């Protein structure tokens, strides 16, 4: 079994972003295929109810959110760089902008063209997203979503127009993977007509091919039960980082807190054990796995005292 276990499903764009990061960093990984919609009875108890996808696991450590998973992979992997020297913040900023500006619009473009979307998926996502992803509802709005995606893609086109291979220069980085995955979802699922519209220039098309060629690296399949065993058989680490920023917002080590995505998703409950520049760590306990650590990036999540 590889050290890094990825809980994900094939259709998920943020999972595709992360699978490519495994390929770029040449990290060998184990793949646990999770259900596309909840309930996820094996995963949810381990992760304190965090319900976004993907989640990475190393023993009793769970890394929530692709931004934080990238931080882990950058430390573990021997090849490539997700964050080229001096360009880490730029790579993150480009990723943040494109994902916030285009992910939902791209998904809406693609889903508006999809056939046979299960009603369970439509019903389950409605309260989470606050958006109805029924193709019948999205299809008449396609022009709106398409022009939103296209307007942002113009900036990518401009960036690549000096002949560079990737967004930050000669080598691929996290920025490329963040821009790629919403387009990947459209090109996989949106149908030929939409593909042509999103595939707006030869420059973007060639760049898309270069990113796709990174691939997913070496992975083996793992069952959810094997992942549970891996967590139960490991002791969680005892991180010591602490920041005054936590005290400034009235939080202390050992507090019972919630960590909640700042866009959509449910709160995760746990005991606050570390607060560093880039991450917060909760201790969580469940009969299936015993004690585990849940890691979240600082950016994109709100920490608050649990009621």
Ligand X SMILES: N[C@@H](CCC(=O)N[C@@H](CS)C(=O)NCC(=O)O)C(=O)O
- The least CB distance from residue 99 to ligand X, in Å, is 7
Residue 243 burial (C-beta neighbours within 10 Å; 0-12, 13-18, 19+): middle
Residues 286-305: x/- map of binding to ligand X (CB under 6 A)?
--------------x-----
Q: Which residues pair with 61 in a beta bridge?
A: 58, 293
Query: By CB under 6 A, is residue 92 in contact with ligand X?
Result: no
Stretch that binds ligand X, among 51-59, 114-122, 163-171, 247-255 (CB under 6 A): 51-59
Alpha helices (H) in the chain, listed in sequence order? 13-25, 43-46, 66-76, 88-111, 119-129, 135-138, 142-160, 174-189, 192-198, 202-212, 224-232, 244-248
74 touches ligand X (CB under 6 A): no
Binding part of the chain for ligand X, among 45-53, 111-119, 187-195, 276-284 by CB under 6 A, reads 45-53
Question: Is 53 a binder of ligand X (CB under 6 A)?
Answer: yes
Q: Which is nearer to ligand X, 65 or 257 (CB)?
A: 65
Does residue 198 contact residue 154 with C-beta atoms inside 8 Å?
no
Span interacting with ligand X, options 8-16, 196-204, 212-220, 233-241, rule CB under 6 A: 8-16
Q: How far separated are the first and last CA of the chain, in Å rounded?
A: 39
Kindly indicate which of the ranges 64-72, 139-147, 151-159, 213-221 contains the residues binding ligand X, using the contact rule CB under 6 A: 64-72
Which string of x and - marks every residue 214-253 that binds ligand X (by CB under 6 A)? Answer: ----------------------------------------
Q: Phi/psi class of residue 254: alpha, beta or left (left: φ > 0; alpha: ψ in -120 to 50)? A: left
106 vs 168, which CB is nearer to ligand X? 106
Smallest separation, CB 36 to ligand X (Å): 7
Task: For 57-81, give the secondary structure using H, E and C.
Answer: EECCEEEECHHHHHHHHHHHCCCCC
Q: Quick one: which segment of 60-68, 132-140, 167-175, 282-290 binds ligand X (CB under 6 A)?
A: 60-68
- Of the candidate spans 61-69, 134-142, 163-171, 250-258, the one that interacts with ligand X by CB under 6 A turns out to be 61-69
- Least distance from C-beta 300 to ligand X, angstroms? 6
Mask 99-118, x = binds ligand X (CB under 6 A)? --------------------
CB nearer to ligand X: give 134 or 157: 134
Does 13 bind ligand X (CB under 6 A)? Our answer is: yes
How many residues interact with ligand X (rule CB under 6 A)? Answer: 10
Smallest separation, CB 287 to ligand X (Å): 23
- Provide the 8-state DSSP code for 161: T
> Which has the closest alpha carbon to 180: 148, 158, 206?
206
113 C-beta neighbours (distance < 10 Å), count: 18
Contacts 24+ apart (CB under 8 A), 43-48: 43/7, 43/224, 45/286, 45/287, 45/288, 45/289, 46/227, 46/228, 46/231, 46/286, 46/288, 46/289, 46/292, 47/268, 47/284, 47/292, 47/294, 48/268, 48/269, 48/270, 48/282, 48/284, 48/286, 48/294
Tell me if 148 contacts ligand X by CB under 6 A.
no
CB of 205 to ligand X, least distance (A): 23
Nearest-angstrom CA–CA distance, 103 and 182 = 5
Among 31, 66, 102, 258, binds ligand X (CB under 6 A): 66
Binding site for ligand X (CB under 6 A): 12-14, 51-53, 65-67, 300
């Amino acid at each position: 079994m590889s050290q890094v276990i990825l809980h994900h499903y094939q259709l998920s764009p943020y999972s595709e972003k992360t699978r490519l990061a495994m390929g770029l960093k040449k990290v060998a990984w184990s793949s646990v295929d999770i259900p596309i919609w909840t309930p996820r009875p094996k995963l949810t108890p381990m992760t304190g109810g965090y319900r976004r996808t993907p989640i990475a696991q190393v023993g009793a450590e769970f890394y929530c959110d692709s931004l934080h998973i990238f931080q882990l992979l950058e430390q573990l992997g021997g090849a490539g760089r997700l964050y080229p020297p001096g360009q880490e913040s730029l790579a993150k900023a480009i990723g943040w902008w494109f994902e916030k500006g285009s992910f939902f619009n791209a998904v809406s473009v693609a889903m508006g063209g999809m056939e046979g979307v299960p009603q369970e998926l439509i019903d389950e996502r409605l309260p989470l997203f606050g958006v109805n992803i029924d193709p019948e509802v999205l299809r008449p709005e396609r022009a709106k979503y398409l022009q939103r995606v296209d307007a942002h893609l113009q900036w990518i086109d401009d960036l690549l127009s000096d002949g560079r291979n990737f967004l930050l220069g000669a080598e691929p980085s996290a920025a490329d993977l963040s821009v790629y995955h919403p387009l990947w979802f459209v090109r996989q699922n949106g149908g030929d007509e939409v593909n042509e519209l999103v595939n707006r220039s030869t420059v973007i098309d060639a760049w898309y091919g270069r990113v796709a060629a990174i691939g997913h690296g070496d992975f083996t399949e793992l069952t959810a039960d094997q992942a549970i065993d891996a967590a139960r058989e490991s002791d969680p680490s005892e991180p010591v980082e602490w920041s005054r920023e936590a005290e400034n917002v009235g939080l202390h080590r050992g507090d019972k807190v919630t960590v909640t995505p700042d866009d959509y998703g449910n709160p995760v409950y746990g005991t606050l054990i570390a607060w560093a520049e880039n991450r917060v760590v909760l201790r969580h306990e469940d009969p299936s796995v015993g004690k585990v650590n849940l890691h979240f990036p600082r950016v994109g999540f709100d920490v608050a005292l649990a009621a």
